[in-house]
């Protein structure tokens, strides 16, 4: 693919390829035998459609600890605090962006039925229930799950139908590229999502300025503003939302000021929102190393400047006690703490 992605056109095309509304089926990536399977510590499960992921709190030196989704899941499931948590992962077979650092091979993001399987939410839950020592967390990822926002309420309905709503925590991510949650879900479906207790959603900011966003995603840099607009809409729902941010950038020029502007924008949505956003360090997984050129290697190096700038901004705006709070206790819009 050359040039920038036409995000809206591509999103609609991929949605059409990934959702069978009449039969309530979704196109889910077949991980078994895929290039991505090289990066797994254990083979794919659930008939090739799933994998086990270990989320870890520890991060490399210099990076903030990552409590997602460990702390929200532990809180919901009444577990004592852990430093890691296992999750059953399913990936939808489409994404509308092409981040160079994506750990999913691009061939698994095109809504290609030869690399995926049509299944209902109920069939996914059936396969999950057959997993030995099954995790208590189900992670719906991608791809971009919100190309098919029906996936989340359908999974919730199936979990409820089996009486599993209190013993399973559902987690999904969203690249903040479209308004399909509002455009395609009925009010009743949105109510299911907003009213579901054991659910958390993480919103992924793909850069800290237009340049880094465009460099990372191959989509128009101005869509970073759309990311903020969509985040604002989610903050107005009852959904328990968190954020990730990636800071790979081709340029270090004026980085501290640009990062300050990024944190300003987060705070313009909700004063404590930065405390709910976790920067993720980009590293080279198997599919990534093949895509990298000198500018990408520089971008990986530039992250160290960016994360220092992020930490500096947060330390100017929040006390160390506030920054040490459990992320679940951060109220985005009000006084910190609970």
Can you give the binding site for ligand SF4, defined by CB under 6 A? 95, 97-99, 102, 104, 142-144, 175
CA separation for the pair 219, 112 (Å, rounded): 21
Nearer to ligand SF4, 278 or 328 (CB): 278
Minimum distance, C-beta of residue 106 to ligand SF4, in the bound complex (Å): 8
3-state SS assignment for residue 156: helix
CB neighbour class for 262 (10 Å; exposed up to 12, middle 13-18, buried from 19): buried
Give the chain's largest Cα–Cα span.
54
Instruction: Between 55 and 196, name the residue whose CB sits nearer to ligand SF4.
Output: 55
253 backbone dihedrals φ, ψ, rounded to 5°: -60, 125
Identify which of residues 1 and 22 has a Cβ nearer to ligand SF4 in the complex. Answer: 1
Cβ distance to ligand SF4 smaller for residue 110 or 331? 110
Q: How far is the CB of 62 from ligand SF4 (least distance, A)?
A: 22
Give the nearer residue to ligand SF4 in terms of CB position, either 98 or 134.
Answer: 98
In this structure, which long-range contacts are made by residues 267-271, counting pairs with CB atoms below 8 Å and at least 24 apart in sequence?
A: 267/317, 269/228, 269/231, 269/232, 269/235, 269/332, 270/235, 270/332, 270/333, 271/332, 271/333
CB of 57 to ligand SF4, least distance (A): 21
- In angstroms, give the least distance from the CB of 175 to ligand SF4: 4
Shortest spacing between CB 81 and ligand SF4, in angstroms = 28
Between CA 201 and CA 204 the distance in angstroms is: 10
């Amino acid at each position: 693919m050359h040039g920038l992605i036409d995000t809206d056109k591509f999103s609609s095309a991929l949605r059409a390829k990934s959702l069978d509304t009449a039969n309530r089926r979704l196109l889910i990536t077949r991980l078994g035998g895929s290039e991505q399977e090289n990066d797994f510590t254990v083979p794919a499960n659930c008939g090739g459609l799933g994998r086990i992921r270990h989320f870890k709190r520890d991060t490399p030196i210099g990076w903030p600890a990552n409590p997602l989704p460990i702390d929200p899941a532990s809180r919901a499931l009444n577990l004592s605090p852990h430093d890691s948590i296992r999750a059953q992962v399913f990936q939808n077979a489409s994404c509308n962006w092409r981040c160079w650092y994506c750990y999913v091979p691009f061939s698994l993001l095109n809504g290609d039925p030869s690399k995926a399987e049509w299944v209902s939410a109920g069939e996914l839950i059936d396969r999950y229930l057959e997993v030995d020592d099954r995790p208590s967390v189900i992670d719906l990822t991608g791809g971009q799950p919100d190309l098919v926002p029906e996936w989340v309420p359908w999974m919730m309905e199936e979990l409820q139908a089996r009486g599993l709503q209190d013993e399973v925590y559902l987690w999904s991510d969203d690249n903040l590229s479209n308004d399909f949650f509002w455009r395609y879900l009925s009010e009743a479906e949105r109510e299911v999502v907003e009213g579901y207790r054991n659910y958390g959603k993480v919103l992924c900011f793909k850069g800290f300025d237009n340049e880094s966003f465009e460099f990372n995603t191959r989509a128009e840099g101005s869509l970073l503003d759309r990311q903020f607009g969509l985040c604002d809409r989610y903050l107005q729902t009852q959904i328990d939302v968190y954020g990730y941010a990636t800071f790979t950038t081709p340029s270090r020029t004026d980085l501290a000021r640009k990062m300050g502007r990024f944190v300003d924008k987060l705070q313009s949505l909700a004063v404590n929102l930065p405390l709910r956003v976790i920067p993720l360090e980009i590293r080279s997984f198997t599919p990534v190393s093949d895509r990298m050129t000198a500018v990408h290697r520089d971008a990986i190096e530039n992250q160290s400047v960016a994360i220092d700038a992020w930490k500096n901004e947060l330390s100017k705006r929040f006390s160390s006690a506030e920054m040490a709070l459990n992320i679940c206790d951060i109220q985005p819009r009000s006084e910190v703490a609970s």
